[in-house]
Structures are given as C-alpha cells and as structure tokens.
Structure 1
Amino acid sequence: MANERFFLEGFNFGEVQDAFNSTHKSSDSKEGERKQEKIRFDGADEEWGRSWNSDPLSSIMSPPLKTCLEEISKFRENENGIGDLLEPNKEKQLPLSLASFELLKKYGNGLKRLNDERQIEPNGDPPSPMVVKQELSTEEIMRIAGARFIHSSSADVHSNHPFDLSFSSLSGYETKNVELSELLLSAAEKVGNQQFDSASRLLDLCDFFSSNTGNPVQRLVYYFSGALRERINQETGRATSKGFGKEQSFNICEAIMAPSLSNMTFYKQNPFNQVSQFAGIQAIVENVTEAKRIHIIDLEIRSGLHWTIFMQALVSREAWPLELLKITAIGTTSKQLIEDTGKRLMSFAQTMNLPFSFNVVMVSDMLDLREDDFQLDDEETVAVFSEFYLARLIASPNRLDSLTKVIRNINPRVMVIIEVEANHNSPVFVDRFIETLFYLSAFFDCLDTCMERDDPNRMISESLYFGEGIRKILVAEGDERNIRNVKIDVWRACFARFDMVEAEMSISSTYQANIMAKKLACGKACTLNMDGKSLIIGWKGTPIHSLSVWKFA
C-alpha cells in the first residue's frame, strides 16, 4: 500500500494540462525564434533566468561550468568531452600543477558585481539601515573561496582584485564557510601534485570542520574530503575500506530502483527530476497523440513513477481510446527489481482501467541487444525514453554505438533523453574535481532549500548517491570511472553520427515544466533555459539537467 500511495500522491497530469489549455488555446508558437530564450517564472530573480547568450562571466549567478570548459580548452584539446567520449581509453595524463586551477580564475571574475549588489545603492534618498544583506549561496561561497585561493597562490599577492577578497563584506557564518572551502581547494591541489602528506594534513582540518549533517558547504566538504583521502590511499597503495573492484557490493542503480522511503522523499522534494520528467513525458504524449497501440522502450526504468504520469495523460485523451500501452524495460542486472516495478505499474494501470502490458528484456551485455528482443508490432507507435543511462556507456563507446544502432533500426517516433548537464569527463583529476565541486555546490544548495538538514532521508540520499558519485568521479580511473557526464553539445556531436535529428522542444512541454516547478515549494529558484532546441533545468542559473527530444532522419 505504501508503494501505491507513492504513485498516486502528488501528481495530477490533468490539472497541469488544463492549466496549459486554458492559457494557451490560441497561442502562436513561433518555436524557431525561441533558441537560447529565457523561460520566466513569476517572482523568480531576473538574474537566475538570464539568457546564456550574455557574457557568462558578468554575474556571480551565471552558470559556472561553461566558463570551466572555455578555460580548459585553452591548454588542452578536445576538453569539451568529444575526444574522450569517442576514445575514452586515451587517458592523456598531463602535468598537474597550479595551472589546472586557472579554471578557478574565471569563477572570480563576477565577484565585483556581487560585492556591489551587497551594498546599499544610492537612489537620491538616504540609505536605509533596514536593508538586509542576502545570504550567499553555496556556489557563491565556492566562487569566493576559489578567487581567494588563486589570489593567495599568485606570485604577486599584492595585485588588485575586482572583489574585496578580505572577509570585511562577509558575515561570520560566511567567513567560516569560505575558509573551509579554501582548505578543500588547497587539499585537492596538493593531491593533484601528489603532495600526499601535505594533502592529508589539510584533509584532517577539513574533516574536523565538516559534517554530513551541517550546512551545505560542510556537507560538500565532508564528501569531497572523503573522496580525496581515498584517492591518496589508492595512489599510495594504502589499504582502504572502500574500493572499485569486484568486492564493492553497493550498486547505485539498484538502490535507486528500490521503492524506499528515502528515494520517495528525495524524489518529491527536489525539483529537477520532476520537472524534467514531466516535460519529457509531455514530449512523448505529443508524438503519440492519435496512436491506439503505444510501445514505450525505457532504457533504465528505475522506480517507474514517470509512467504513472504518462498513464494519466493517456486516460485524459477521450478522442482516441487506447487499445494497449506496452512498456518494455531493458536491463543487464536486477531483473527482480525491474519486475517489481512492472507489478506496481500494472497495479496502477488497473486502477485506471488502462489496457497495459509490461515486458522485460534482459541481456548480459548491451552488445547483445537486438531489435528482435522487443517483440515489435507493425501497428505500434514506438517511443524511447532514456534517463541518466547513456552517460554510463561513455566509458564503453562500442556499447553506446551498438545500442544507438539498435534504436535507429527500430526507428521510434521519438526518443526523449534526460542527462546531467555537466562535464565530469576530463582525463585530468583536478579539472574533474573543480567541475564536480561547482556542480554539486548548486545541487546541495537546492537540497538545503527543499529539505530540512536533519531529514534522515536527505542524509541517506546524499550519502548513497552523491557521496558514491563523487568517489566514482574523483577516485576511479579507466573503465572503473563509469560516471562520465558530458554536456548537451557533446551528445549532439555523438548522435549526429547516427543521423539523429534534434527536435524542437514544444511550447507545451516547456510550459508544463514551468507549471510543475511552480507547484514545488522551492520552484522559484529552479530555472529553465533553452540551449538550441533543448531544455536546460537549473538551480539559480547553474545547469543541472538537460532534456532533449530526438528523431531519426
């Protein structure tokens, strides 16, 4: 019963659909003019929705990872991820030094504006002492720490900096967070230079001042410090309680599939999955509008909650009664968990009197997947859904190519892809550290807004998923580094080889993403932007997820 409540509570596709219809019955969607446009939220900070056409370095709120890529490309080829995507075994090890921390310089370029905005602006009237200074976000703390770290490491420590790098403009709370972040950056730099004794001493301080139950900065430092210490152990051959070999029992994918209370709570409280899934499901709905027999192929079905949204949408379309909804889930492990998800979906479909079937295609290796495995019917309209799965195949490009060829041969009506919008695929450790740190700074800032700090479900999710993810990105190398997130431009380059054509995100999909975000308690800080034809879901302007729609030429 607890599982059924999980599916039934909190989602009403018809409610959002009605809101869209009543507002946009006669709207003219000039979609070709919406590239790089901002999708506005009522009451949202204007800077959070800033178009990415503007200079990304002009504001402290601007997305950081793009600036990282621009800086990396100055001294290393193919750092946008394409080279490593297609040839991941070419792990070119470059000298690690403070040169890698050139990435941080551009993070500090927008700090002058932050310093100005935190002062009382003259407007002809006497300044009011009642003006309240807004607390810095987690990402802003990291930006200041990065600027201070670069400044203190510079040969000319007396050089001017556009931002007041003293602590005079910061509160005591913010000062402590900046100092802790500086310790972490210093430790990472030492690890990158293989100065392990110095790094260990810095990590001792990080461990003392950080906590997995504290503020977002303390929580981030806690998990990053643990990963850095494990990398030291790996580099020096010291024994470690954790590892990436066959003995490691924890499986992130299996943990996510389990209908646990922590998974349910985490899903409901953070906006990114719900917004991206809701808009993605809408994109599929629009492409199967008149189909009587619909076949969904899900590359990694997880809990299956998103398909309850789809079922509600199908039930609400009275003009075209459905003969059958078939969902096929692909798996290489965890067959029982996938079948359990199918049973929950079957139960939900029965409550809605929806004709439904659920199939599981299990293969020992994705290279073994064939079109015949899907029992396709000529009368079916096929759609493919992939959420955070394709990035796992970047370390094995032959498997990624094989899967994409199978999908191309099936020739679905539409393929919807949700991925992490970040570059965690650099072959250089320090660069991966910086990009991951700033990405998760925004994510942990979101969690602190959406969930209580002492919420046990938050602590479990942070430990299992983010803690493990940080370890995989920073400690693992070679084939064991199976978390290799890349940005949408890399996926475009990859898919172009298979004649996949990016489709325009419809105005109804973006509108429903907007409505879904507003329904959530922390939705004001969730930002939606268009990158070409794809939707980017972010937090205060920092990209978190990408949602793209694809068809085959």
Structure 2
Amino acid sequence: MVGHIPFGWLPMDPAAASAATGNLPAPFSAAAANGHVYYYLDPALYASAVPLARQPAVPTAAEVARRRQEEEDAGIHLVHLLVTCAGAIQAGDYSAADDNLTQARSFLAAITSSTGIGRVAKHFVDALAQRLVPAHPQAAPPPATPAELHIHFYDAGPYLKFAYSTANQAILDSFEGCDRVHVVDLALMQGLQWPALIHALSQRHGGPPYLRITGIGGAGDEIGEVGVRLEQFARSLDVPFTFREVRVDQLDGLRHWMLGVVPGEALAFNSVLQLHRLLVDPDVDPAVPAPIDTLLHLVTSLQPMVFTVVEQEADHNRPALVERFTNALFHYSAMFDSMVAASHRTGGGSTTSALAEACLRAEILDVVCGEGSARAERHEPVGRWRERLARAGLAQLPFGADEVRRATAQLIRATLFSATGYGVLECAGSLALAWHDRPLYAATAWRATGGDERDKGRRRNSRNGSGESNGRGNRATA
C-alpha cells in the first residue's frame, strides 16, 4: 500500500487481536494476499507512538574544559609512568617496569589518540613492551617497503622538502660558474631531491652545465630505475646528464674508485639523514676506526666544493636509556603534533598519514630497543656535528639571512604551511626547520679546509673543459 509501512508480523486473526487488546485501532488496516494476512500501520500513528531517538547533547564549554583538563592530567601521569618504566628497565627491575607499563596502558586508554601525547605515547608504550619482551608482537615487519615509506613521509609534511631544498640551494651556490659538476648522493632513495636541482640548472644564465649524479644505495634499492627516470627528466630539459650507480652495505664501505671522480670537475657530496647511522658507542675498540671517521676521511680526501648535511635536531645517542628515552619522547611529540597540523592543512590522506607515522614509529622502536651495534638511529644535535666535522678537516659554509628568507619563502610557497606553527631558524650558520620554535631538522654546508684557492682553480678548469667528456658534455660547454 502506497504511503504505508509494511511490517512482517506473523498473521493474527483480527477477532483474537481484538479480544487481546480491545478494539482494533482505526488506523490499522489489513490486506490478504496468497492466504496470508498483513497489517499496516499509518505513518502518522507510528510517528506519534514511537518517541524520537535521543540526540547526543552538545557539550557545554565547562564540560569541554573539564575533559581537556582530565586528558592533560592523564597525559602528565602517562609521561611520568613511561619515564619511570624506562628507568626500571635501565635498573634491571623488570617487575616494576611491567607494573609501570600496565598502568601506562590504562592512562593511555583515557587519552584521545588522534592528537597530542596520546598519538605518540602508543608507540613508546609498544617500544617499552618490545624492550621487555623482544618477541612482542610489536616487532612485526613495517607495513610497506622502505621506498614506499620514504615517499609517504615526503608527502606528509615539509621535513624532506626542507632538507632537499636547503641542500640544493647550497649546491647551486657552490656550482656557480662551473660547467662540469658532479653530485655524490650518499642515499639516493627515490631521487626526489634531484628534479628540482636539474630544473634550476636548466635555467642557469649561459646554459646548463654537464651534470653527473652518483647515486648510492643498498642491495635492494631501485638505484638503476631511479637513474633512468632522472636521465629522462634531464633530457626533457636539455641538461647534459649521466648517472652512476653504486651499491654498498654501509657508507663506510665506499672507496674512491667507486665514485668515478674526474679531476677538474666541481664535486659535491650530499647526505640527508644518513650520517647518524655511522656513529657507534664510545666504548667501541678505539683501534678500529669508527664508520663515521672512515667516511669523513674519504669526503675530505676528495676535496669537494660543498658537503651538504641534514640531520634530525635531536639528542638520541646517549648511552643511558632514560636520558635518550626522555629526549625522544619530547622530540617525537613535537614531530607528531606537527604532522597532524600538516595533515589538517593539506587534507592529507589516511594512508599517507599512517605510513608516514610508520617511519617515525620505526625510529622510536630503534631508539628505545636498540643497544650497541643494533642501534642505528643515533641522532645528535647540530652543535655536536659541527665539532665532529671540524675535527675531520671541514670548514662550515654558513647560511645567512638571505638563505633564511629564501628557505622560509619556499616553505610557505611549496608546502602551504604558513601560519601553522612551522618556521625556519638560523643558528650559528645552520638552518633548522622548527615547530613552534622547537628545531626538528638542521641543515649545514661544509667544504674541505682551505678550499678557496682550490675552488677557484676548479672553476677555471671547469670552464676550460678539463676532465672526462662526452658528446652531450661538449655541447653544454660550447
């Protein structure tokens, strides 16, 4: 019946129904079909007989404030329990650590997991659980390949964009006036840094130089495929280009002959988030050169015009678990807060956010659970890197006010993160990407000590066409 709502009740004889409930209400009607009787209820009667579903009450300002205060209190207790748990593990009191972890989980349940401490604390709870029980399920493999995680982390915020654009600018400045240039990338990954550099070189007054890129990676990296894509991109912009592929298990395994350095070319080394992986505990056998010292010796021996370095601005290389745990908790809280803001600003997809978060989660697990040679994420502040690189025979090329303005403009224009808490800071010649004035990543540029005269000579040799050549290179220098 049009305008009525059928109910699939079992048929009941109207007389029996009347005897049981009184007279059949007028708004009900009955129809017979195929020997079955169906009853219909007028919508108006149904609407008046059934109360409206109760709508959730809109919380008052006082209730919102109360809930926020409760979450803040729970967050304070949670942080205390997490640090106490780390201290108990460091002291070898695993029973107390387990009790602390159980309490931490109960406080975590009372905190909204989408923002603030709740979002990052889950990963630290899992890390402590894995530290207590190494076979804990949290040790499951990552949800994607390293290449996929890298791309999603690039898309999730300004972190790698800042690193790449700042390093590229230092390389461009150092290559000014050179017709043959060579970049050695210590971690090629997906090559996301280099299209912007190639494009900038294609716009150079007087024509682009002959560009060589040596991409370094591990056994499972798609170095060759990335090289093909870069070569196609360079060809589309008429930039003379060649690519060299180098595979090593660890960067201290690099040797001079692997890089194919040509005398007279302008050379740059580039390291984005790689050097900290070469650090070791201070009690390692001093007779064996540390991996970082081996690599820096190679770099300085090749006398590059510039060595660009970007690292996490954090202090996670302390031998004591409690100290590095506390430092990591505050660093990654800022990282997660900034990532949430970036996602809201750009409308980033849930997949991108989840996989970018997986990158940070892997770092957290390594910082908390790794000891000795098993720990790779040994982040150190820029001041310590400055001392180490200076000891190796490198002199800093300071960034100035112009670079700060340029980096800030690029940050706003390219990533739309203005007025959201991000900023660029300058400190002692380094640039840092900051979240509410807390540095997250720091960029520095270096060259071999006493490199001024050598650089002038290289510019002269480059303009005169010294070194290895091919058809495209000759065309670029003509």
TM-score, L = length of structure 2: 0.72
Which residue identity lines up with residue 345 of structure 1 in the other structure?
A: L
CA offsets 1:236-263 (integer angstroms, 9 cap, x no match): xxx42355xxxx86599x61xx2x4x65
- Residue identity matched to 1:440: Y
Contact 2:115 2:337 in 1 (8 A): no
Distance of 2:112 and 2:370 partners within structure 1: 24
Matching residue's letter, 2:203: S
Aligned to 2:137: 241
Which residue of structure 1 aligns with residue 53 of structure 2? none
* 1:194-213 pair list within 5 angstroms: 194=93, 195-206=96-107, 208-209=109-110
- Given that residues 187 and 202 in structure 1 are in contact (C-alpha distance below 8 angstroms), is that contact kept between their aligned partners in structure 2? no
Note if contact 2:397-2:447 (Cα within 8 Å) is conserved in structure 1: yes
Q: Please point out which of 331, 349, 359 is paired with 1:465.
A: 359
1:489 aligned residue: 383
What SS class does the counterpart of residue 290 from structure 2 fall into?
Answer: helix
Distance 1:434-1:505 versus aligned 2 partners, 3 A rule? same
Counterpart contact for 1:211–1:222, Cα < 8 Å: no
Structure 2 match to 1:284: 171
Q: Which moved more, 1:304-313 or 1:347-356?
A: 347-356
Aligned to 1:451: 343
Matched, 1:545 2:441: yes
| Contact 1:283–1:506 under 8 Å retained in 2 | no
Q: Deviations over 1:363-388 (max 9, x none)?
A: 34544322121111123110111000
Choose the corresponding residue for 2:210, options 311, 324, 333. Answer: 324
Distance 2:416 2:304 in 1: 36
- CA deviation string 1:471-510 (max 9, x = no partner): 1001111111111100111111211221111112144432
Paired residue total: 371
Show the counterpart of 2:273: 388
Of 385, 389, 392, which aligns to 1:498?
Answer: 392
Mapping 1:341-356, distance limit 5 Å: 341-356=226-241
Partner of 2:123: 223
Measure the CA separation in 1 of the matches of 2:217 and 2:184.
Answer: 11
1:552–1:169 CA distance, 2 compared to 1 (3 A): farther
- Tell me the equivalent position of 2:407: 513
The residue identity in structure 2 corresponding to 1:530 is E
Q: Please tell me whether residue 415 in structure 1 is matched to residue 307 in structure 2.
A: yes
1:314 to 201, 210, 213: 201
The change in CA–CA distance for 1:266 and 1:240 in structure 2 (over 3 A counts) is closer
Using CA pairs below 8 Å that are at least 6 residues apart, which structure has the higher relative contact order? 1
CA distance in 1, matches of 2:359, 2:337: 16
Distance, in Å, in 2 between the alignment partners of 1:301 and 1:405 is 21
Match of 2:319 among 427, 430, 438: 427
What one-letter code is carried by the residue in structure 2 that aligns with 1:485?
H
> Relative to 1, partners in 2 of residues 1:171 and 1:273: Cα closer, same or farther, differing over 3 Å?
farther
The one of 82, 88, 96 equivalent to 1:187 is: 82
C-alpha deviation, 1:171, in angstroms: 5.0
Partner SS for 2:137: coil
C-alpha separation in 2, matches of 1:543 and 1:351: 38
The Cα of 1:184 is off from its aligned counterpart by 3.8
Q: Say if 1:426 and 1:432, in contact at 8 Å, map to a contact too.
A: yes
Tell me the distance in 1 between the aligned counterparts of 2:133 and 2:79.
17
Closer, same or farther: CA 428–344 of 1 in aligned 2, 3 Å: same
Q: Distance in 2 between matches of 1:491 and 1:310?
A: 26
Cα distance change, pair 523–303 in 1 and its aligned pair in 2 (3 A) = farther
Distance 1:552 1:189, change over 3 A: same
What percent of counterpart residues are identical? 23
**1:53-106 per-position Cα deviation (integer Å, ceiling 9, x unaligned):** xxxxxxxxxxxxxxxxxxxxxxxxxxxxxxxxxxxxxxxxxxxxxxxxxxxxxx
1:293 paired residue among 180, 186, 189: 180
Question: For each residue in 1:335-366, what CA deviation from the matched residue of structure 2 results, as whole angstroms up to 9, or x when unmatched?
Answer: 4x122221221222122121111111223454
Rounded Cα–Cα distance in structure 2 between residues aligned with 1:267 and 1:481: 24
Structure-2 change in CA distance of 1:224 and 1:419 (3 Å): same
Cα deviation code 1:298-352 (max 9, x no counterpart): 1111221111110111011122x234211001224324x1222212212221221
* Aligned residues of 2:399 and 2:430 also touching (Cα < 8 A): yes
Change (3 A) 1:333 1:182: farther
SS of alignment partner, residue 278 of structure 1: helix
Distance in 2 separating the partners of 1:186 and 1:444: 20
Pair 360,352 (structure 1): closer, same or farther in 2 beyond 3 Å: same
CA distance in 2 between counterparts of 1:250 and 1:449 reads: 24
Which of 463, 474, 490 is matched with 2:368 structurally?
474
- Structure index of larger Rg: 2
1:523 counterpart residue number: 418
1:440 paired residue number: 332
d(CA) in 1 for partners of 2:427, 2:138: 39
Q: Which aligned pairs between 1:26-175 and structure 2 lie closer than 5 A?
A: 171-175=66-70
1:8 corresponds in structure 2 to none
Taking a change above 3 Å as real, the CA distance of residues 388 and 380 of structure 1, as seen in their structure-2 partners, is same
1:291·1:322 contact (CA, 8 Å) conserved in 2? no
Shift in Å at residue 227 of structure 1?
0.8
Q: Structure 2: give runs of 5+ residues left out of the alignment.
A: 1-61, 282-288, 450-478
Cα distance between partner residues in 2 of 1:412 and 1:171: 59
> One-letter code of the match for 1:540?
H
Distance 1:178 1:446 in 2: 22
Q: 8 Å contact 1:346–1:356 — kept in the other structure?
A: yes
CA distance in 1, matches of 2:82, 2:398: 44
Amino acid at match of 2:74: E
The 8 Å contact of residues 220 and 444 in structure 1, kept in 2 or not, is answered as yes
Q: Does the CA-based 8 Å contact 1:300-1:329 persist in structure 2?
A: yes
For residues 409 and 450 of structure 1, do their structure 2 counterparts lie closer, same or farther at Cα, with a shift above 3 Å needed? same
Query: 2: distance between equivalents of 1:177 and 1:300?
Result: 41
Q: State whether residues 278 and 306 of structure 1, in contact with CA within 8 Å, keep that contact through their aligned partners in structure 2.
A: yes
Instruction: Pick closer, same or farther for the CA change 1:549–1:267 going to 2, 3 Å.
Output: same
Letter in 2 for 1:324: Y
Give the 3 Å change call, closer, same or farther, for CA 240–447 of structure 1 in structure 2: same
How far 1:216 moved relative to its partner? Answer: 3.4
389, 394, 403: which one aligns with 2:295:
403
Secondary structure (helix, strand or coil) at the match of 2:193 reads helix
Equivalent pair of 2:182/2:213 in contact (CA under 8 Å): yes
Q: Is the 8 A contact 1:422 1:439 kept in 2?
A: yes
Amino acid corresponding to residue 118 of structure 2 in structure 1: Q
Indicate the SS of the match to 2:166: helix
User: Of the candidates 261, 264, 267, which is equivalent to residue 379 of structure 1?
Assistant: 264
How much does 1:434 deviate? 1.2
Distance 1:181 1:521, change over 3 A: farther
**TM-score relative to the length of structure 1:** 0.63
CA distance in 2, matches of 1:332, 1:265: 20
Contact 1:184 1:202 (8 Å CA) reproduced: no
**Where do 5+ consecutive residues of structure 1 fail to align?**
1-166
